[in-house]
């Protein structure tokens, strides 16, 4: 943690709005309900000046959190998504491109679909019979006066299938809203004051659900220290971006023509960037952070991080990432930054703690733990576990679930269904309060629970560890059975509620940390083994001696990913340029990034690599996995440390990229992940694959080849292990993997016992002979 931060602010600006630094970033799904709109909603605030030159962008309902199509059920089914408007933009136009379908059973005269924004009706969509059951499209204009900072877009089905008495939950009452529907927004930029109190805005705005793209500009070709400072900054932005993802295109000595950017300068190097001036005296002011207007884009800002040397630049970057909320004014000079405590293994803020039980309230906002109505959305609890939990003997993760619900009027089929990653675990019955013949417990509950309150309950269950990838989600669905009273008697009172209590717990204590490597799936999903320490203090990034902008971009984007999965900036990472002086890196895990014809360390470590890319010729070592299955009894076949027996060689000019994992040649037990391409564009493809959920799950094994939107993973022949087991478990595990050795030991033990019995019986026989 940051022990102390002192700074001097220069040229303070008046701040009329609440600084964004006081608002913590959150996922779009966690946005609060839309606030009361101001008198002139959508208009600029007094300290914001609208600027001409608007733009339009489109976001799908899927990007806004609708993982699946929206299902509207019953006589008044409703569902929706939330969206926000950036602090530096004002909406000039909004349209919804809606893809939908509805039931042929709906009566057009008394049925329709309503579109609402912040609970106000925007349009009513008729449901004529001649279009029923078809996939339809409709463009809906949304009045800008209805749109504020935080907004909710709802779609509501008013459905009826008969003019007589009807079942309010009849299966013919449905409408489907495609999550590929698109919200199109036209916005005009606003000119904000130059004030650090707004950080991380406007560079990152939590209202924006799109991927963060933040250019990083170096005044001159950066050295290792400047790259370490830049990696700290991009990991912070990656942490803030979260589920959105982030990428960081890099340039040297050239600002982007438009848009916000981060600039790193050392030794008063601002003047090396055309159009970027330097305040008088800034060169000698020490580590500093300032925000200024973009010289060619008046609506954009530049965040300039400066220092007289690499140490000061890294101090300024660390102050921004761990103490940025205390900064204010147009510029701040960092006077003192006390040493940040080093991280401990597996203590990443975004990971489940391994030394204590974790409450659900630590993982999700309490407002998201409530379900209302007969067709509620799932209650979701996202969490991450370390990828190296060893589940050979201890195979389950205990969960203590506490929940409350509206008591059922009579015993029925109502349940709380529990799933993990869409895999069903168990169904917990929702009990009724029998006032005629109450049990002892129910009698106590009748006294303890006031009328109208929710009935408390709890349950303990285990989650099999094999069902948990590193990024997982617990899902709770309240199913309230609808009681049928008879014809014309069914009245659906949508007054049922259910909650999952924030003091419910999940516990991953007691697991050993031990994993077979290489495992690119662990790297792609959690950055393991580098993120074992959240500050990356045991990680070294190796770049070419003369990197290209594509190498810089790949490195910075990977640091953003590390910050996203750990929730902590990588302020202790080490950067090395070229493959010289490797002995200093022997006790670190290495992430090697290379493009072009002379990548670092590849020639030195060619024998360790399962592939090579050289002069357009590509060689990949193939797996003998099939022969392993056919010859499982052969102990030699079980040894995966031998090289592969076959390989493929071909020539191509494509910009393929390859991830490869192997044990470090510098020290056993340490890991190397190599990202390599013969062209810089291939590196960007590889980084983008880590941001695409569909491609991410295909990266596994020891070698993964990325060709645009295609990923192929190969099983390599090399294997080593990272972590530790207690001696007894280690011996038991080793014997389980070597059955022939177990048989030999069993035979030897039996022979030894037999020999000892033989000696004992012989001695007894001699004693009898002497007695005779």
Contact 209, 244 (CB under 8 A): yes
pLDDT for res 233: 96
pLDDT for res 493: 66
pLDDT for res 613: 55
Helix (H) or strand (E) holding 712: strand 710-714
Contact 589, 540 (CB under 8 A): yes
Looking at the predicted structure, is the pLDDT value of residue 509 above 60? yes
- Indicate the average pLDDT of the chain: 81
Helix, strand, or coil (residue 357): coil
Spatial CA neighbour of 620 closest among 589, 660, 580: 660
Residue given tokens 């609402």 in the structure block: 116
Spatial CA neighbour of 675 closest among 694, 699, 651, 652: 699
Contact 105, 161 (CB under 8 A): yes
A 10 A CB-CB count for 289 gives 24
Spatial CA neighbour of 495 closest among 456, 457, 458, 453: 453
Instruction: Tell me the C-alpha distance between 178 and 182, whole Å.
Output: 9
Helix, strand, or coil (residue 237): helix
Looking at the predicted structure, is the pLDDT value of residue 154 above 80? yes
Looking at the predicted structure, is the pLDDT value of residue 436 above 50? no
Helix (H) or strand (E) holding 156: strand 150-158
Confidence of residue 531 (pLDDT cuts 50, 70, 90): very high
Triad 162, 163, 166: Cα angle to 5°? 55
Tokens representing 310? 């690499």
In this prediction, residues 487-504 reach a mean pLDDT of 80
Exposed (0-12), middle (13-18) or buried (19+): which is 756, by Cβ within 10 Å? exposed
In this prediction, residues 166-176 reach a mean pLDDT of 89
Tokens representing 154? 């709802």
**Residue 660 forms beta bridges with which residues?**
674, 703
Looking at the predicted structure, is the pLDDT value of residue 94 above 60? yes
pLDDT for res 476: 95
Tokens representing 164? 């007589």
pLDDT for res 49: 46
Looking at the predicted structure, is the pLDDT value of residue 445 above 70? no
Give the pTM: 0.82
Instruction: Tell me the C-alpha distance between 348 and 533, whole Å.
Output: 7
pLDDT for res 512: 87
Weakest-pLDDT range from 245-259, 329-343, 649-663: 649-663
Based on its alpha-carbon atoms, the radius of gyration of the chain, rounded to whole angstroms, reads 31
**Judging by DSSP bridges, how do beta strands 174-177 and 49-50 pair with one another?**
unpaired
Weakest-pLDDT range from 87-101, 121-135, 463-477: 463-477
Which comes out higher in pLDDT, residue 23 or 68? 68
pLDDT for res 167: 82
pLDDT for res 390: 86
**Residue 121 forms beta bridges with which residues?**
116
Instruction: Tell me the C-alpha distance between 725 and 749, whole Å.
Output: 25
Instruction: Tell me the C-alpha distance between 376 and 79, whole Å.
Output: 9
Looking at the predicted structure, is the pLDDT value of residue 297 above 50? yes
Could you give phi then psi for residue 168, rounded to 5 degrees?
A: -65, -15
Spatial CA neighbour of 312 closest among 269, 277, 271: 269
Looking at the predicted structure, is the pLDDT value of residue 496 above 80? yes
In this prediction, residues 48-62 reach a mean pLDDT of 75
Looking at the predicted structure, is the pLDDT value of residue 766 above 80? yes
Triad 219, 326, 368: Cα angle to 5°? 105
Looking at the predicted structure, is the pLDDT value of residue 362 above 80? yes
Residue given tokens 């190796």 in the structure block: 542
Contact 483, 340 (CB under 8 A): no
Contact 477, 375 (CB under 8 A): no
Confidence of residue 503 (pLDDT cuts 50, 70, 90): very high
Label residues 16-46 b or e (16+ Cβ within 10 Å = b): ebebbbeeebebbbebeebeebeeebbeeee
Looking at the predicted structure, is the pLDDT value of residue 452 above 80? no
Which comes out higher in pLDDT, residue 499 or 771? 499
pLDDT tens-place string over residues 558-570 = 999 999 999 999 9
Confidence of residue 47 (pLDDT cuts 50, 70, 90): very low
Confidence of residue 645 (pLDDT cuts 50, 70, 90): very low
Q: Where is mean pLDDT largest: 5-14, 92-101, 629-638?
A: 92-101
> Looking at residue 33, what DSSP letter applies?
P
SS (H, E, C) 400-435: EEEEEECCECCCCCCEEEEEECCEEEEEEECCECCC
Dihedral angle of Cα 321, 587, 307, 527, to the nearest 10 degrees: -30
Could you give phi then psi for residue 163, rounded to 5 degrees?
A: -85, -10
Instruction: Tell me the C-alpha distance between 398 and 650, whole Å.
Output: 51
pLDDT tens-place string over residues 426-435 = 999 998 865 4
pLDDT for res 653: 53
Instruction: Tell me the C-alpha distance between 25 and 236, whole Å.
Output: 12
> Looking at residue 342, what DSSP letter applies?
P
pLDDT for res 276: 75
């Amino acid at each position: 943690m940051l022990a102390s931060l002192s700074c001097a602010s220069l040229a303070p600006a008046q701040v009329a709005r609440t600084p964004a630094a006081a608002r913590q970033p959150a996922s779009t799904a966690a946005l609060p309900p839309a606030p009361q709109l101001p008198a002139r909603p959508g208009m600029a605030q007094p300290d914001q000046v609208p600027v001409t030159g608007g733009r339009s962008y489109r976001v799908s309902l899927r990007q806004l959190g609708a993982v699946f199509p929206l299902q509207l059920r019953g006589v008044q089914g409703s569902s929706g998504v939330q969206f926000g408007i950036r602090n530096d933009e004002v909406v000039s136009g909004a349209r919804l491109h809606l893809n939908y379908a509805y039931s042929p059973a709906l009566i057009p005269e008394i049925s329709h679909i309503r579109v609402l924004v912040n609970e106000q009706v925007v349009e009513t969509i008729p449901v004529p019979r001649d279009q029923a059951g078809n996939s339809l499209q409709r463009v809906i204009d949304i009045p800008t006066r209805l749109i504020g900072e935080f907004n909710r877009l709802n779609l509501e089905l008013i459905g009826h299938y008969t003019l007589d008495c009807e079942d309010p939950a009849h299966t013919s009452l449905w409408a489907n809203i495609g999550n590929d529907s698109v919200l199109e927004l036209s916005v005009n930029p606003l000119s904000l004051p130059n004030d650090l109190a707004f950080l991380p805005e406007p560079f990152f705005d939590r209202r924006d659900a799109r991927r963060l793209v933040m250019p990083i500009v170096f005044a001159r070709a950066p050295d290792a220290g400047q790259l370490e400072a830049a990696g700290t900054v991009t990991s912070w932005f990656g942490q803030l971006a979260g589920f959105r993802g982030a990428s960081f295109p890099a340039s040297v000595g050239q600002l982007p023509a438009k848009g916000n950017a981060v600039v790193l300068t050392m030794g008063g190097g601002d003047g090396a960037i055309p159009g970027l001036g330097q305040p008088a005296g800034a060169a000698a002011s020490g580590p500093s952070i300032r925000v200024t207007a973009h010289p060619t884009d008046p609506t954009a800002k530049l965040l300039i991080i400066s220092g007289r040397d690499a140490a000061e630049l890294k101090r300024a970057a660390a102050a921004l990432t761990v103490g940025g909320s205390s900064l204010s004014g147009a510029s701040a000079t960092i006077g003192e930054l006390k040493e940040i405590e080093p991280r401990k293994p597996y203590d990443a803020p975004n990971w489940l703690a391994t030394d204590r039980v974790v409450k659900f309230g630590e993982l999700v906002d309490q407002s998201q733990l409530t379900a209302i109505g007969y067709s509620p959305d799932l209650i979701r609890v996202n969490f991450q576990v370390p990828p190296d939990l060893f589940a050979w003997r201890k195979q389950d993760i205990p969960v203590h679930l506490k929940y409350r619900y509206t008591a059922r009027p009579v015993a029925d089929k109502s349940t709380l269904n529990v799933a993990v990653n869409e895999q069903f675990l168990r169904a917990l019955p929702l009990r009724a309060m029998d006032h005629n013949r109450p049990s002892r417990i129910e009698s106590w509950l009748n006294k303890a629970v006031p009328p109208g309150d929710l009935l408390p309950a709890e349950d303990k269950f285990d989650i099999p560890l094999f069902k948990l990838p590193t990024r997982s989600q617990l899902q709770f669905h309240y199913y309230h059975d609808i009681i049928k009273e008879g014809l014309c008697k069914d009245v659906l009172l949508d007054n049922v509620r259910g909650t999952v209590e924030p003091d419910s717990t999940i516990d991953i204590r007691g697991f050993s940390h031990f994993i077979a490597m290489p495992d690119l799936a662990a790297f792609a999903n959690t950055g393991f083994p580098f993120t074992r320490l959240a500050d990356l203090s045991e990680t070294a990034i190796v770049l070419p001696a003369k990197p290209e902008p594509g190498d810089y971009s790949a490195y910075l984007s990977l640091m953003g990913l590390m910050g996203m999965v750990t929730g902590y900036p990588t302020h202790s990472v080490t950067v090395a340029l070229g493959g010289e002086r490797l002995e200093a890196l022997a006790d670190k895990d290495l992430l090697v990034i290379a493009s072009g014809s002379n990548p670092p360390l590849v020639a030195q470590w060619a024998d360790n690599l399962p592939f090579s890319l050289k002069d357009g010729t590509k060689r990949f070592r193939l797996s003998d996995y099939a022969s392993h299955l056919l010859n499982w009894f052969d102990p030699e076949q079980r040894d995966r440390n031998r090289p592969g027996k076959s390989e493929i060689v071909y020539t191509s000019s494509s910009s393929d990229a390859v991830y490869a994992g192997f044990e470090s040649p510098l020290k056993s037990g340490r890991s190397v992940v190599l990202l390599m391409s013969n062209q810089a564009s291939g590196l960007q493809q590889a980084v983008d694959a880590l941001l695409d959920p569909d491609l991410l799950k295909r990266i596994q094994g020891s070698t993964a080849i990325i060709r645009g939107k295609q990923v192929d993973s190969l099983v390599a022949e090399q294997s080593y292990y990272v972590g530790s087991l207690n001696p007894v478990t280690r011996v038991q595990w080793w014997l389980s993997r070597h059955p022939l050795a177990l048989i030999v030991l069993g035979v030897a033990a039996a022979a030894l016992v037999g020999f000892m019995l033989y000696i004992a019986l012989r001695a007894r026989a001699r004693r009898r002979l002497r007695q005779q």
